[in-house]
Amino acid sequence: MKIRVGLTKTPKAKPAPGQKLGFGRIFSDHMFVMNYKTGKGWYDPRIVPYGELSLSPAAMCLHYGQTVFEGMKAYYGEKGEIRLFRPDQNFARLNNSNRRLTIPHIDEELCLEGLKKLIQVDKDWVPHDQGSSLYIRPFIIATDPMLGVRPGDEYLFLIITSPSGAYYESGLAPVKIYVESNYVRAVRGGTGMAKTGGNYAASLIAQDEAHKQNYSQVLWLDGVEQKYIEEVGAMNVFFVLDGEVVTPELHGSILPGITRSSSIQLLRDWGLNVSERRISIEELDKANDEGRVLEAFGTGTAAVISPIGELRWGEKKMIFHGGSIGQLTQRLYDTLTGIQYGRLPDPHGWSVVVTE
Ligand SMILES: *Cc1c(COP(=O)(O)O)cnc(C)c1O
């Protein structure tokens, strides 16, 4: 399918170097759009000026949440090239989310081609400041104007992009996380493994309550017994425990992070033992009391690696690595960001160069 390109006649002013970008507030000049209709399939892939959508107030996505999304970044490399990190994995995961939400399968290669074209058109929107990136948000919504509950017959696939600042403004810093023992995020058989809007809507109340107590994020426990560690709002979690690295196994309710799988690969490359297994919050607490937990960190596209300085579980505060950054955590952060920005060798071929 040929991707049509329609350029804006009114380009916006780009953020100035050094300007505070924040996250997800500024949008580039163009977006990628593609339509779907049952019987016709996906059609008319195109790059158009960024702008508002026209939707029926009865559009299905607005009522029943039949939506999926992805999150990824483009970075300026050392030699002025623009890089993506494992974008094939994002489009493959989008199709997994599609399957769960009964949204039609997308052509992953066509979407990657559309993304590359979009970035080429908006290359001046990729920020140059240290640690900054162009955040990329592919998403799909059901647009049928119909209030019956059933899978849609009409969809829109879009990619929008947003120049975003460094996640850590003053260098890698440990986060404090609240262990949620009241609300749950997902259960096996639910939608936990999909990036779909409803998961995040349902998590807002817990995040809000954690914020009120000065915790930046929530650690979710399993939805059945509220005993086993699952993940943080938009991060998977790892613990350096008894000489190995432990992370909860993927069993349907945890989002399979691309930063998670990349971290596991690097840790194994370095000769470390990584165990994907069930780990209860009690086990972690006991091990930490006994001095057997050396480091704790989260992994996700936004922060890449987040050292966890404190976990608050009921009345208990678990402090890891004295509340400072562990050695392995720092090494993973340096290596992953090094590969992403093209400063370090990329032995697994994870980086994809968009422009030279
Ligand atoms: C996106 C996301 C992650 C992290 O995935 P990455 O591919 O590493 O960015 C982890 N958990 C949840 C719930 C997420 O939405």
Say what the pLDDT of residue 172 is.
86
Q: 71-115, pLDDT tens digit by residue?
A: 999 999 988 999 999 999 999 999 999 999 999 999 999 999 999
Q: Which atom of ligand 1 is nearest to the CA of 72?
A: 9
Q: Which atom of ligand 1 is nearest to the CA of 301?
A: 9
| The CA-based dihedral angle spanning residues 26, 77, 355, 134, taken in that order and rounded to the nearest 10 degrees | -10
Q: Which atom of ligand 1 is nearest to the CA of 192?
A: 13
CA–CA distance, 4 with 121 (Å, rounded to integer): 12
Confidence check: pLDDT of 279 > 60? yes
Ligand 1 atom 13 nearest Cα:
234
Q: 105-156, pLDDT tens digit by residue?
A: 999 999 999 999 999 999 999 999 988 999 999 999 999 999 999 999 999 9
Could you tell me the two tokens for 24? 């997800």
Residues 38-47 have a mean pLDDT of 98
Those residues with Cβ within 8 angstroms of residue 112's Cβ, 6 or more apart along the chain or in another chain: 87, 88, 91
Q: Write the DSSP assignment of 213-237 as a string of letters.
A: TT-SEEEEEPTTTS-BEEEETTBEE
Q: Which atom of ligand 1 is nearest to the CA of 262?
A: 8
Q: Are the beta carbons of 223 and 190 closer than 8 angstroms? A: yes
The identity of residue 137, as a single letter, is R
Say what the pLDDT of residue 78 is.
86
Q: Write the DSSP assignment of 9-72 as a string of letters.
A: SSPPPPPPTT----SS----SEEEEEEEETTTEEEEEEEEE-------TTBHHHHH--EEE--E
Residues 65-73 have a mean pLDDT of 98
Distance 276 CA to ligand 1 centre (A): 17
Q: Are the beta carbons of 164 and 27 closer than 8 angstroms? A: no
Q: Are the beta carbons of 177 and 320 closer than 8 angstroms? A: no
Could you tell me the two tokens for 266? 């690097």
Q: 149-191, pLDDT tens digit by residue?
A: 999 999 999 999 999 998 877 778 899 999 999 999 999 999 9
Could you tell me the two tokens for 193? 């493994």
Say how many CA atoms lie within 13 Å of 125 toward its Cβ: 25
Q: Which atom of ligand 1 is nearest to the CA of 259?
A: 8
Which residues have CB under 6 Å of ligand 1? Answer: 71, 195, 231, 234-236, 255, 257-260, 299-301
Ligand 1 atom 6 nearest Cα:
257
The phi-psi region of residue 117 (left if phi > 0; otherwise alpha if psi is between -120 and 50; otherwise beta) is alpha
Distance 139 CA to ligand 1 centre (A): 15
Q: What average pLDDT does the chain have?
A: 96
Confidence check: pLDDT of 285 > 80? yes
Confidence check: pLDDT of 29 > 90? yes
Q: Which atom of ligand 1 is nearest to the CA of 300?
A: 8
Other CB atoms within a 10 A radius of the CB of residue 79 amount to 8
Going by pLDDT thresholds of 50, 70 and 90, the confidence category of residue 356 is low
CA–CA distance, 142 with 161 (Å, rounded to integer): 21
Other CB atoms within a 10 A radius of the CB of residue 293 amount to 23
CA–CA distance, 279 with 242 (Å, rounded to integer): 13
Say what the pLDDT of residue 169 is.
72
Residues 329-353 have a mean pLDDT of 97
Distance 302 CA to ligand 1 centre (A): 9
Distance 57 CA to ligand 1 centre (A): 30
Task: Tell me the angle at which helices 108-121 and 87-100 cross, rounded to the nearest 10 degrees.
Answer: 130
Distance 290 CA to ligand 1 centre (A): 31
The pTM of the full predicted model, rounded to 2 decimals, is 0.97
pLDDT, greater one: 171 or 193:
193
Say what the pLDDT of residue 31 is.
98
Q: 223-277, pLDDT tens digit by residue?
A: 999 999 999 989 999 999 999 999 999 999 999 999 999 999 999 999 999 999 9
Ligand 1 atom 5 nearest Cα:
257
CA–CA distance, 229 with 222 (Å, rounded to integer): 6
Exposure string for 182-219, b = 16+ CB within 10 A, e = fewer: ebbbbeeebbbbbbbbebeebbeebbeebeeeebebbb
Distance 199 CA to ligand 1 centre (A): 12
Percent of the chain with pLDDT over 70: 99
CA–CA distance, 157 with 153 (Å, rounded to integer): 13
